[in-house]
Amino acid sequence: MSTDISPLAPKTYAELPAIEGVRIETAAAGIKYKGRTDVMLMVFDRPAAVAGVFTTSKCPSAPVDFCRANLGGGKARALVVNSGNANAFTGQKGRAATELTARSAAAAVGCSENEVFLASTGVIGEPLDASKFATVLNDMTASASGDRWLDAARAIMTTDTYPKVATRTARIDGVTVTLNGIAKGAGMIAPDMATMLSFIVTDADIAPAVLQAMLGRHVGSTFNAVTVDSDTSTSDTLLAFATGAAAGRGAGRIAEVGDARGRAFSKALSSLMEDLALQVVRDGEGARKQVEITVTGAASARAAGRIARSIANSPLVKTAIAGEDANWGRIVMAVGKAGEQAERDRLAIWFGDVRVAVDGERDPAYSEAAASEVMKRDEIAIRVDLGIGRGKARVFTCDLTKAYVEINGDYRS
């Protein structure tokens, strides 16, 4: 966790209301960091519906394996998250740590171990001493309360410079339901699944299969549309929980994917997920600029996505942005190397509202001064039109600065 807050950090944090059916507590277990909280516990006093999406890494962490095994049950009573150690690439010791944590959480909450969900973030390859926080779970369960969302977001931070929180509301059968979410992530961000770590809770009464379908529907345009450094974590986890408490106020149960009453909720969920995903980009390690890459006119949406990511992940593009250099030649390079259909003489490129290239060459009306003004902004939009089809995609990223190298060069020290 950095002491220098990102210049793109929010000026104020959203105020997240308590959600009926979930209680939260944090603790300092000394896993890696000194003088700060590093364990977060969510307690669901009644079984909550749960859905999740996880990393596509072929070297997933032990907690990811654990959650995947429990997800089929569709019910959750506890979530335990630690920072400072990813419990990844830790072999049998890693599995033993998840087993100890789950056993301790189940005993503290009074539930089955298959109703416990886990997540860990931090250093890869270092064994996690789960006994450090397993011993505090009883006290955490007793003192947990509903209004600890900002504390929860702080406890799961690693190289993040600020906590990431968001809230939304929706109406079901005329009743207002609430969605709260937290996230962490600043580096090793190219989630080909969901996000780094993100946890969403609602009081809506939604069946696990419906909640899972909604996560799957929205993840592509939100968490899967962000990249900081092109590296997919071993630990990426997105979990959503529905306590169902709003049913007591008259909000009916959403039990089928096609239920029209779930549309407003689905829209609110998408908005919440995008908010959290963009906060991660804005806290990219060393980041000073948020960048939106839009590709249109591609042969397909898939092709547009690959081209957009080629641009967003290019170190040459990202360092040019850091240097406030309107170097559209690097955009051309990134388009050309993406491996998708492109025709040089149909290509057009914009920085903000300034068209810098058209028909495969520099725009005749190109203004270096106007393009340079765009590059000085904190938020920069880059658009590329390939002129060959209807495929389009949008990806969010950030610049690449010297601070990124410094942060990651010192990460384990």
* Domain 22-282, CATH number (from 3.40.47.10, 3.30.70.2740, 3.60.70.12, 1.10.600.10): 3.60.70.12
The secondary structure of residue 235, as a DSSP letter, is: -
How much is the pLDDT for 412? 57
Q: What angle do CA 379, 384, 389 make, to 5 degrees?
A: 140
Q: Do domains 22-282 and 290-409 have the same CATH topology?
A: no
How much is the pLDDT for 195? 43
CA distance linking residue 261 with residue 279, whole number of Å: 29
- Binding-site positions for substrate read 158, 184, 195, 285, 408, 413
How much is the pLDDT for 193? 39
Q: How far is CA 266 from CA 52, 206, 223, 239, in A?
A: 15, 11, 15, 15
Strand intervals (E) in 32-154:
39-54, 75-85, 116-123
pTM recorded for the entire structure: 0.90
Backbone φ, ψ for residue 228 (5° rounding): -100, -45
Q: State which residues of the chain have pLDDT below 70.
A: 1-3, 186-195, 229-233, 411-413
The dihedral built from the CA positions of residue 165, 132, 49 and 238, taken in this order, carries a sign that is positive
How much is the pLDDT for 232? 64
Which residues are designated catalytic?
195
Which of 224, 89, 84, 87 is CA-nearest to residue 160?
84
SS3 call for 344: helix
- With a pLDDT cut of 70, the percent of the chain lying above it is 95
Q: Which residues pair with 48 in a beta bridge?
A: 76
- Binding-site positions read 158, 184, 195, 285, 408, 413
Topology (CATH level 3) of domain 290-409: Ubiquitin-like (UB roll) (3.10.20)
How much is the pLDDT for 2? 47
Write down the domain spans for the chain.
22-282, 290-409
Which of 31, 106, 44, 34 is CA-nearest to residue 244?
44
Using a 10 angstrom Cβ sphere, with 0-12 exposed, 13-18 middle and 19 or more buried, the burial of residue 179 is buried
| Helices and strands in the chain, H and E counts | 12, 14
How much is the pLDDT for 97? 95
